[in-house]
Amino acid sequence: MLQRELIRWEEFSLIVLDEVHHCNKLHPYLKLFNSHHHTLIPESRPKILGLTASPAGKSTVSETYQMLQGLLKNLGGAKIAVVEREEEDLKGFESSAEIHAINVPLSSKEIQFRRHLLEYIILCYSRFAQMSSLKNSLTAPCSYLVDAVRYPGDRQVTTSLAERFLKDDEPLADLTGVIIAASCSTKDNTQTFTFLQLHLVKLLLTLPEVGTGANFVEELDKTLSPSDNVKEFEKLGLPCRELHEKVLQFAADGNKDLTMFSKLIEVWVFHGFYFRVKCLNLLQDSRG
């Protein structure tokens, strides 16, 4: 929404960032700060509250100190504050508001892109399983992909599985760990096996980000751009070029996806209706 200029960074008075210790290198937090926060004059910047339970992630005190110094610099001269008496200090500010979860569905273009990504992941897995210890595995989550291994490249099988996971991708939740733990079944394809293993893990980690607003397109663009590894994947029959074109098309069509606005309207309408109902109830209670 910031990229589409539907909202502006300076319109916020407070921005809360969880897991703020990730604000370095190419993380989206740092990209937001560099492109939106630091470009404003100090008077126009919103206040930033960064939260983390892992401030000391290095092996030595000096390395941890350097990491924290860099983090504070990335955050624009932030200061560290430690909550020591949370029960006493924070209980009085505990909200008693009712929580109403809103499930905003994916837009039509997000659904279409997620389907393409799932089909590609299934094809990747079928090739990976053929050269790994997972080829004959019938335990979950591999059991959900048995047909993809038995009939590698079969369009009907791939499409059917993609539609199934599009409705419920829970079976894929544990697949990343299984792939990382898999071993190569032949000595001839060890290098290709390792590259495909990492490729598949990256794709599985990207899949949940579709529809969340995360900047996954840039990472997919790098992963699928022409390279020696991609050439090896194409020799295995993987449609890397086709998916790369869909990634670029998805990025180009982002601002044209009108269904994204319908998602916002759905949320706004719900909140507006809920607010009016609560006001009426409060008014009736006060009159009573």
Segment 134-144, tens digit of pLDDT: 999 999 899 99
Beta strands in 10-157 (DSSP E): 14-17, 47-50
Burial class (CB in 10 A: 0-12, 13-18, 19+), 250: buried
For residue range 225-244, list pLDDT tens digits in order.
999 999 999 999 999 999 99
CATH ID of 9-93, from 3.30.930.10, 2.60.120.10, 3.40.50.300, 3.65.10.10: 3.40.50.300
pLDDT at 86: 64
Length of the chain: 288
Residue burial 145-181, b: 16+ Cβ < 10 Å; e: rest: bebbbeebeeeebbeebbeebbeeeebbeebbebbee
Beta strands in 25-118 (DSSP E): 47-50
Who has greater pLDDT, 261 or 75? 75
For residue range 97-128, list pLDDT tens digits in order.
777 777 778 888 999 999 999 999 999 999 99
Least confident of 57-66, 131-140, 252-261, 274-283: 274-283
pTM confidence score = 0.59
pLDDT at 165: 95
pLDDT at 272: 53
Structural contact between residues 123 and 158, judged by C-beta atoms closer than 8 angstroms: yes
Alpha-helical segments (H) within 139-185: 146-150, 155-167, 175-181
153 alpha carbon, distance to own chain's centre: 27
CA angle 245, 249, 250 (to 5 degrees): 115
